[in-house]
Amino acid sequence: MKLAGLSNAVPGTSPLHEERLDSVYKRIRQSGARRVLDLGCGSGSLLVRLINDPQFSHIVGLESSGVGLAVARNMFADSLSSGRLRLVAGSYAEPHPALTGFDMAAMVETIEHVKPNDLSRVEQAVFGQMRPHRLIMTTPNREYNPLLGLASGEFREPDHKFEWDRQKFMQWSRGVAARNGYAVSFAGIGEADPELGAPTQTATFSLPA
């Protein structure tokens, strides 16, 4: 049952982003997770879907943007007061001992906002210290950008610090998985081109059962 006043659709988001959020939500739900961590939750686009599903008993959103957190706190006031949802100000490149051992974590279109020099800190904090049992990550597939009308070297958003092609994303993800004891699998979201792949690429990291 949906909470009063909360719709899954977020004003101003693109159809691809809505498809992405729906896909990530469904994968989290299918995992059987009850305790979920949204790393880089923004103003709550994924949190809306999680809160509207009673499967999830404990939901935490971590966000470094004060503006995004303010929007989320206003939108989710009832859930915050019930204790089912917690919003935490901070970066997932920093240690958060209280956020360890969640059933599932999500990083939706956020890793590409990290400076490349900080990726090792993200790996250490998320996979080395927080260690969710599973984590799903989405990021743009750079190879698909020409089909979106972007010029060579142009990013999908001005704040992106990089955008990986499929080979680079798989290389980085496999390295992270191997160094931290995870298995990793790959997929895509959105209509895939036979040569260029899907517009969004995903990696799902899993600890051994």
> For 72-121, what is each residue's pLDDT tens digit?
999 898 888 888 999 999 999 999 999 999 999 999 999 999 999 999 99
DSSP string, 87-105: EEES-TTS--GGG-S-SEE
For the record, the structure tokens of 112 come out as: 């590409």
Question: H or E stretch including 201?
Answer: strand 200-206
Q: What is the pLDDT of residue 82?
A: 85
Chain segment 17-33, per-residue pLDDT in tens:
999 999 999 999 999 99
Dihedrals φ, ψ of 42, to 5°?
60, -135
Which is it for the CA torsion 57, 101, 37, 177, positive or negative? negative
Whether 61 contacts 72, CB under 8 Å:
yes
